[in-house]
């Protein structure tokens, strides 16, 4: 029997075995085969990585680079990602079973994060404050916040990591990354490029393993200044609590249950494609999934009939086949969760319009984790299927009459990550976009993301913003410097 590839952690510029020698298995969701072993890092490994990152931040070569030199390194990493996009995408597919088309498009787009933030590195300027005191020169500096723990989920590992890595490096921070235990290898492959780009040891480190072990140790470590977390709302809220004990800054990109609202004046063909892309692309395993479809009464029957017909034609299959449109679910836990929610929806009285169970057949290969694209009609917003994140190919359709009712339903939820609005009226587009409590609103499009535009959640969908200039500010802190030019010594017992 051939031995499985073994992936070690990346700490202080070296590939290191876990301190207690234990590895865990990683499974390809399409073949259902264990294809690699990954270091199960301990809290001791996490502590070593934080120490390395802290040394690189405070004393190493990295701390002596100027912003232009730092930016050039970040840019160089972008070039290397571009050269290796195909290879990285294949690792992503082997790890999470998402479509090669989707992962290749993501990996080809990743360099833009490194070019954008690499360019921004030397354009972060402080200010001279026209201070209201005599004989004082006061200015501000924006300094790196410190060591960052970047914790990522399994659905788009490299994209969600790039949201953090590119601005953090450009800001001058150092990082310890903890990828999801289900999808560690693409992040480790990226470290080969970090090394090749010439980042000094300790600037970027990766500890692989489990949230409660390596992840928790990072969140608790007093030398970590910031946690940049993407994952579920429950784990995010727990991480926030733990991080509060040492007053760490946190950005939390969490779950969603986004409304996709189709008004009666929408271009129906466009809206159908937008709705499909919002829920069945990536097998529904995206935080921005438009999993609550709100359809206006006048077009309800026609729209739903056409939507179901379109969804029925979705091709399931091998994610490495460029013709596949819906791949397997990434993990057995997630597969069970999706089926549980399908059962809940049926119990609640929702009507199955399409799918509604596990999928099997030759197109599913050896995978045991295919779920049929599923559409429920007759859903009310108070049902669990309308309120809780499924993170799978399951769409709930809710009927509405007026614009006011659409807004009320859209906002009647704990989440606020994104929303879609389909209308030809500019007035309606603006009014509804302003009224919806979510961090991203798409009008006549869905599932668009850019390195330039801030992304993040309202309410239980998270804290802080990634991407754009706002995303960079999350890795900086401001220092105010006061220089006195006074010649006389003022009264020391009175505040100046």
Return residues touching ligand NAD (CB under 6 A).
151-155, 160, 178, 180-181, 210-212, 215-216, 219, 230-232, 235, 238-239, 253-256, 287, 389, 391, 417, 457, 462
Minimum separation from the CB atom of position 71 to ligand NAD (A): 25
Nearer to ligand NAD, 230 or 396 (CB): 230
Least spacing, CB of residue 202 vs ligand NAD, in Å: 21
Classified as helix, coil or strand, 108 is helix
Closest CB 208 distance from ligand NAD, rounded Å: 9
Question: Active site residue: 107, 173, 250, 287, which one?
Answer: 287
Q: Where would I find the H helices in 141-267? A: 157-171, 185-197, 216-220, 233-244
CA distance 189 to 205: 12
Nearer to ligand NAD, 51 or 181 (CB): 181
- At 314, phi and psi to the nearest 5? -60, 130
- Confirm whether 107 is a catalytic residue: no
Query: Using CA atoms, how far apart are residues 360 and 317, in angstroms rounded to an integer?
Result: 10
- The least CB distance from residue 322 to ligand NAD, in Å, is 24
C-beta of 174 vs 180, nearer to ligand NAD: 180
Buried b (16+ CB within 10 A) or exposed e, 181-217: bbbbbbbbbbbebbbebebbbbbbbbbbbebebbbbb
Q: Is residue 209 classed as helix, strand or coil in its secondary structure?
A: coil
**Residue 72 burial by Cβ neighbours in a 10 Å radius (0-12, 13-18, 19+):** middle
CB of 473 to ligand NAD, least distance (A): 18
Q: Which is nearer to ligand NAD, 389 or 474 (CB)?
A: 389
In total, the chain counts a number of residues equal to 496
Q: Which residues contact 425 (CB under 8 A, 6 or more apart)?
A: 263, 265
Q: Parallel, antiparallel, or unpaired: how do β-strands 204-206 and 224-230 relate?
A: unpaired
- 223 within 8 A of 147, measured Cβ to Cβ: yes
Residue number with CB closer to ligand NAD (30 or 391): 391
CB of 37 to ligand NAD, least distance (A): 17
- The nearer residue to ligand NAD, 51 or 213, going by C-beta atoms, is 213
Judge contact between 464 and 251, C-beta under 8 A.
yes
174-178 vs 418-422, strand pairing mode: unpaired
Catalytic one of 253, 389, 466, 474: 253
Please give the structure tokens belonging to residue 92.
Answer: 């992503």
Specify whether 41 is catalytic.
Answer: no
Shortest Å distance, C-beta 267 to ligand NAD: 28
Distance CA 230, CA 235 (A): 9
180 vs 318, beta carbon nearer ligand NAD: 180
Among candidate residues 317, 311, 319, the one with its CA nearest the CA of residue 280: 311
CB 410 within 8 A of CB 458: no
Active site residues per annotation: 253, 287
């Amino acid at each position: 029997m051939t031995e499985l590839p073994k992936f070690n952690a990346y700490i202080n510029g070296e590939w290191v075995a876990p301190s207690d020698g234990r590895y865990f298995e990683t499974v390809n969701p399409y073949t259902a085969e264990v294809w690699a072993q990954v270091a199960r890092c301990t809290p001791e490994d996490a502590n070593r990585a934080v120490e390395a990152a802290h040394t690189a931040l405070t004393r190493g070569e990295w701390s002596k680079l100027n912003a232009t030199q730092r930016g050039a390194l970040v840019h160089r990493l972008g070039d290397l990602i571009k050269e290796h996009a195909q290879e990285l995408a294949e690792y992503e597919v082997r790890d999470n079973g998402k479509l090669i088309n989707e992962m290749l498009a993501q990996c080809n787009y990743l360099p833009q994060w490194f070019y954008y933030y690499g360019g921004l590195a030397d354009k972060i300027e402080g200010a001279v404050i026209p201070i209201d005191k005599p004989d004082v020169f006061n200015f501000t500096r924006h300094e790196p916040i410190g060591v960052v723990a970047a914790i990522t989920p399994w659905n788009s590992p490299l994209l969600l990591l790039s949201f953090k890595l590119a601005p953090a490096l450009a800001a001058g921070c150092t990082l310890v990354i903890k990828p999801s235990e289900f999808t560690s290898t693409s992040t480790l492959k990226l470290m080969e490029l970090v090394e090749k780009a010439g980042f000094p040891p300790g600037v970027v480190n990766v500890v692989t393993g489990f949230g409660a072990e390596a992840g928790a140790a990072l969140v608790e470590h007093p030398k970590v200044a910031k946690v940049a977390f993407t994952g579920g709302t429950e784990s995010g809220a727990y991480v926030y609590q733990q991080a509060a004990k040492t007053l760490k800054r946190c950005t939390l990109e969490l779950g969603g249950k986004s409304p996709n609202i189709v008004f009666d004046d929408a271009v129906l063909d466009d809206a159908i494609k937008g709705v499909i892309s919002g829920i069945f692309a990536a097998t529904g395993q995206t935080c921005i999934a438009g999993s609550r479809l709100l359809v206006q009464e006048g077009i309800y029957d026609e729209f739903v009939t056409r939507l179901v017909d379109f969804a029925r034609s979705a091709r399931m299959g091998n994610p490495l086949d460029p013709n596949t449109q819906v791949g397997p679910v990434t993990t057995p836990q997630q597969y069970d969760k999706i089926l549980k929610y399908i059962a809940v929806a049926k119990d609640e009285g929702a009507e199955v319009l399409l799918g509604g169970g596990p999928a099997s057949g030759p197109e599913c290969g050896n995978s045991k984790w295919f779920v049929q694209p599923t559409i429920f009609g007759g859903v009310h917003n108070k049902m669990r299927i309308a309120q809780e994140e499924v993170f799978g190919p399951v769409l709930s359709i809710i009927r509405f009459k007026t614009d006011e009712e659409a807004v009320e339903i859209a906002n009647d939820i704990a989440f606020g990550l994104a929303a879609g609005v389909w209308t030809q009226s500019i007035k309606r587009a603006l009014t509804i976009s302003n009224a919806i409590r979510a961090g991203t609103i798409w009008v006549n499009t869905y599932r668009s993301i850019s390195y330039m535009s801030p992304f993040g959640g309202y309410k239980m969908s998270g804290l802080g913003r990634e991407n754009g200039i706002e995303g960079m500010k999350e890795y900086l802190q401001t220092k105010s410097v006061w220089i006195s030019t006074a010649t006389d010594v003022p009264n020391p017992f009175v505040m100046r």
